[in-house]
Structure 1
């Protein structure tokens, strides 16, 4: 026990580890935690975590929950659902060795803690006393190796263990992966038509196919114009944000950029999501010149910001981020990432990109009939991928490929859940899916492994779907509105439960739950997934929100009532929309630290868009003027500017519908406020004007002033 461990987990409620330290007189005292404690944001190494309660945290009030004394209480305890569980899983992934000292069949089965994934089992060892009966050996088979050296032998082995030499090679890293285009140092065959088709339709590709063809358009679109922009931005930036909406090619472009930079002599590494970073890896990377660190998501940056802060001096960061996230969290982005920060918009496709897409289809034998590659109304990669999936040729091939999944009810439940999560950009572990479906994704999908692999990568501890577009296609084609709503509901309830039990608000588990719940409640995403034109969409969304309203955690969420209000407004029920928005304000008042920016912009939008003569609108004009002032102030706020700019486009609508109902004084006052807004929009930085297309809002506000002037 005298060694510095990454972490010591115990399923005993006693203080054996702590007692040893005191008895040995070592002078060093490890921090001890029980699963009932709040998990600290920065979790130091060498600590002790009592997964089944801790005797020193026990009193008369919590004795039954703290002490796990028999098989029944082991089965009922909440370790698997606690905020500590994701930390345990991250420690298991990142540890060099995992030791189980002693094993009791009355404890949870090993399967609750580990998997038979070779990446885990090959570094897992069970320290037992000889002899070990055959039944126990059979239970442990596949989970690791058995060492019959007892605790005395283990203690001696630990005492004689040598400290590992410092990391000296990229391939010794665990939390980062070297991006090496020459990994196998051998020629790679050109991608086959089948590989190209599965990449375009299911998002399934391998890095070697990309590296062997780039910069030719033989596998992926090279996007030469954007690549030039990226290289130029990196010449003056410490951080480059690659932003786009979902399914517009951020990840593929990031991989191509890594090839470009590697060819230029840079050392490119990618952070492995959900991995804890050992200090030894940061120490090694901090000595590397021309280092470029890639992150698949902005959430990954937030999770490890403290650790990677030490790399700010010698490294450049390249981060994939959703366009909307970048626009509403800009101040936070600047606090987590080194400046200067460059941004590359990957949403629009250039003319050459569309030509390359058509040639790629032709090369792989996919008919392009019915696909509009002209760029008229189809300006993003996502648009073309949606068209491709809905083409008769591809639909037939997909139906044949996934037929075994369609015939398996359990597999359909797993895949439908994973597809909704992928469509909503929810990044959580398989334990989330397990909690929703009641089954183990790996075991269930393994029965139809070939068909399951059409959707994504499958392993004992991960189900990573490749394509959001394919996920949405599958849901609409084979699951339908009722099934989609059912999955969204169950996911939202689980996210709400995890949010409540998330302990420390900045923990990864809590962040993931809050982000998942926010996405699942969002009317725009829900309606887009269900299909606005579907005949039963309105009823499906109404049923969803009404069922969610019964959950006390969700009912207390201001943003739930905001999204319900937006839905009511969209279907023309302005009175109910206002009622729900007022409920959102009440919930906001009861929520510590809640900022009402989104409520304010939507309340103003509600007033501005209401038809003339709508009962209760515009109502108290003081409310209107107060909201206009608040939204005007947001134009100078980086995190809220996007919502303010868009809502101002409706100022013209309000003046046309309701201008005549205002008094002369109110029209004059509104004109002055509008002119002030025009002045603020004109004074914005040129880059901001371009990014947010402020001219549309400025024109609408100027036209509103003209309408008011014409009325008198």
Structure 2
């Protein structure tokens, strides 16, 4: 353990950093901060990211901290052996998830005296595209060629050493540093569009049905003005938005099987409430980061609606919202039917029994009529286009069991959409390159179906090639139906995911080495 520190180390620690991650076990940072009179808190892998308190500067020891490691927990907390370094514990842990979020949301990330020998950190940095301009590596003067080659993959190299870096930091006038401003990165506020934009086209509807890809402005206008050209209106969405607006409903939980419209329902309610002067915030990240930013939302005045998809992944968030006791904070959440069947009592308890449940697994008679009119309008019945109205009605009731997902699967199999799917999935390049893209795509969806995070790092390990590199040349085509964010890849539409997997596996084999 350190007993003294250098002036350069003190100067670096004197800057008002948002947080400090360190792979060192020693107490150099802590001694510097103590000498400077700066309050700080120490965190190790054995603690939870949710425990981080931003009232003091967080110091996060990735490989453990000698000073607090107990004899019993020493082996678990302190990473010393090669076997520990080459394992993937950190990148797959809750702290690794937090580190990913911090990388994505921070305007500047500086690595001081770090060579990426720790494969965990390298894996995480290699997950993201477009990060190089925000990442800087401070290394000693005249670094080796191999180090330059390694680090230049991830960011800009500053060969100025710790002393040179401390001089730069010392020259920054803290009086000119802008005061800390609260901003949301894990929550996305739903905004009402200022203009109508272009008219809705048939291809827009086809892209939405096929892959969940839509123009947010068009969808917002379509929903707010009750046009419903993009999709049919689920009757309970009007009930939920009306009841919340009038104060008759506090919280709503929407549940259904995959593909029956949960996400679209949430988006629809979000725009309807935003149009009624609610401040609507959609959860877009993991619970630890959402909770980290929750104090910002808590301090916003007026009516607030929190939209939370996959509520069973965010139970702590629900409990935190309920604990506030504010009458003007409402929650509209979603879950799968299977989760509700197994854990309904648990989720009701999280909401303090002040939640109403709505199922989307069965289309009402009125919604069936809307479905028929919708598919007729865009000629999406395929071979059933010539059927009479009553026959189509019976088909949805009986053959589709009143489930929207089976109706959409029927539309996906229509010639119009089938040709569009074929066009998108016709990846260019050598046969091996095309097979690699398909392997990444199919495996990501199999992981999603198994409710395992489809991390590109994990996929790379399973397929034994660089998944991010494999899909990089096809980003434009993949953007039509998939979402690549925070180092993960997912198809926006669960129905389209099922369709792609079934049709791809008929023609291709997936080889996991």
The two structures have a TM-score, normalised by structure 2, of 0.78
Change (3 A) 1:155 1:330: farther
Structure 1 position 151 matched with structure 2 position 150: no
Change (3 A) 1:106 1:326: closer
Change (3 A) 1:129 1:389: same
Change (3 A) 1:439 1:295: farther
Partner of 1:395: 418
Structure 1 position 49 matched with structure 2 position 72: no
Partner of 2:27: 15
Superposed counterparts of 1:154-553, under 5 Å? 154=169, 157=172, 162=177, 164-167=179-182, 172-182=183-193, 185-214=194-223, 215-223=226-234, 225-234=235-244, 235-274=247-286, 276-277=289-290, 282-305=295-318, 307-309=320-322, 311-313=324-326, 314-337=328-351, 339-370=353-384, 372-374=392-394, 375-377=396-398, 378=400, 379-404=402-427, 407=431, 408-427=434-453, 429-459=455-485, 461-480=487-506
Find the aligned partners of 2:285 and 2:101 in 1 and give their Cα distance.
10
Find the aligned partners of 2:357 and 2:74 in 1 and give their Cα distance.
52
Give the CA deviation at 1:203: 2.3
Find the aligned partners of 2:260 and 2:27 in 1 and give their Cα distance.
53
Find the aligned partners of 1:254 and 1:481 in 2 and give their Cα distance.
35
Deviations 1:464-497 (A, max 9, x none): 211222222222222159968x88xx9xxxxxxx
Partner of 2:4: none
Give the CA deviation at 1:459: 4.5
Residue from 105, 114, 117 that aligns with 1:103? 114
Give the CA deviation at 1:178: 1.0
Select the structure of larger CA radius of gyration: 1
Q: Using CA pairs below 8 Å that are at least 6 residues apart, which structure has the higher relative contact order?
A: 2
Find the aligned partners of 1:155 and 1:302 in 2 and give their Cα distance.
44
Alpha-carbon contact 1:166-1:280 (below 8 Å) kept:
no
Count of residue correspondences: 476
Change (3 A) 1:63 1:473: closer
Aligned partner of residue 376 in structure 1, secondary structure: helix
Partner of 1:678: none
Deviations 1:2-22 (A, max 9, x none): 567554211233332234345
Change (3 A) 1:388 1:123: same
Q: What stretches of structure 2 of length at least 5 have no aligned partner?
A: 1-12, 386-391
Give the CA deviation at 1:40: 6.5
Aligned partner of residue 370 in structure 1, secondary structure: helix
- Greater shift in the superposed pair: 173-182 or 330-339: 330-339
Alpha-carbon contact 1:110-1:140 (below 8 Å) kept:
no
Give the CA deviation at 1:444: 1.1
- Greater shift in the superposed pair: 234-243 or 7-16: 7-16
Aligned partner of residue 30 in structure 1, secondary structure: strand
Q: What stretches of structure 1 of length at least 5 have no aligned partner?
A: 491-712
The two structures have a TM-score, normalised by structure 1, of 0.58
Give the CA deviation at 1:450: 3.8
- The alignment yields a C-alpha RMSD, in angstroms, of 3.9
Deviations 1:548-589 (A, max 9, x none): xxxxxxxxxxxxxxxxxxxxxxxxxxxxxxxxxxxxxxxxxx
Bigger helix fraction: 1
Alpha-carbon contact 1:238-1:339 (below 8 Å) kept:
no
Give the CA deviation at 1:240: 0.8
Aligned partner of residue 100 in structure 1, secondary structure: strand
Give the CA deviation at 1:402: 0.8
Aligned partner of residue 501 in structure 2, secondary structure: helix
Alpha-carbon contact 1:361-1:368 (below 8 Å) kept:
no
Find the aligned partners of 2:237 and 2:88 in 1 and give their Cα distance.
52
